[in-house]
Amino acid sequence: MYSAMFMLCAYTAWACLFCLLGMPVPSCRNSVGSRCSFGCKAGIILKNTLNMKQISLHVYQSIDGCPVPSDKHFDAAVDASGCVLIDEETYLRIYLNHLGWPITAKETFVVTNGCIDLTENERVKFIQGDAVAELQRMKEDGDGTVVAYGEEIGALLLDNGLADEITVTTVPMLVGGGEKALECGLHDGGAWIVRSNKVLVDGKMRTVYGRV
């Protein structure tokens, strides 16, 4: 059984490589001689994955894990993304800090329970009701990257297995207090790996985690 599963995993990996290279995927035969197409199935899985939006959660924290303001690196991530996803508290904080809405080049989605709309003339949409189902539909609606930011939206994404990547920027300072920049409740059992780790020019540490 284990040998068969190993062969299936190996064949699927090769099939994914063939798909990425644009080459036809060879079929294989099972033990009863009927033609099976693991390659086609792997290709479908790979295609569906590549066609889904990737949600990248950005977290800014102090050495002791408290939330700190974002910086120009986050602005660059927003510029390179397809849209922005935030929670109600973050929406209000951004608006008040800038005395207006600064994200004009990208569409922003706000998960809320009934927030006051301060940006009627801006590219801001509110997600109410079943936010998890709506975000899942968002992921399945084409490719590209969604940049997410905010403690509450981070908890929502992590609790429901919706985040594909976490970028944690640690600022070399101590803040104190009980508030955490990154919180989650339920553990979905998924594993994470470090994709990159870099010390920025201003002394901050940026670590990118990816879901396995």
Residue 173 pLDDT exceeds 50: yes
Q: Which residue has the higher pLDDT, 47 or 181?
A: 181
Residue 55 to residues 4, 77, 140, 141, 152: CA-CA distances in angstroms? 34, 12, 11, 12, 15
Confidence class for position 115, pLDDT limits 50, 70, 90: confident
Q: Contact at 8 Å (CB) between 124 and 17?
A: no
Banded model confidence at residue 38, pLDDT cuts 50, 70, 90: very low
| Residues 59, 76: Cα–Cα separation, whole Å | 14
CA–CA distances in Å: residue 84 to residues 40, 170, 175, 204, 211: 34, 21, 27, 23, 20
Which of 2-16, 42-56, 115-129, 192-206 has the least mean pLDDT? 2-16
CA distance 2 to 7: 9
- Give the contacts of 13 (CB within 8 A, at least 6 positions apart): none
- Name the pLDDT band for 45 (thresholds 50, 70, 90): very low
pLDDT tens-digit profile of 125-136? 999 999 999 999
Name the token pair of 19: 């798909």
Strands (E), 142-191: 145-149, 165-171
- 42: pLDDT strictly greater than 60: no
Which contiguous run of DSSP H or E holds residue 199?
Answer: strand 192-199
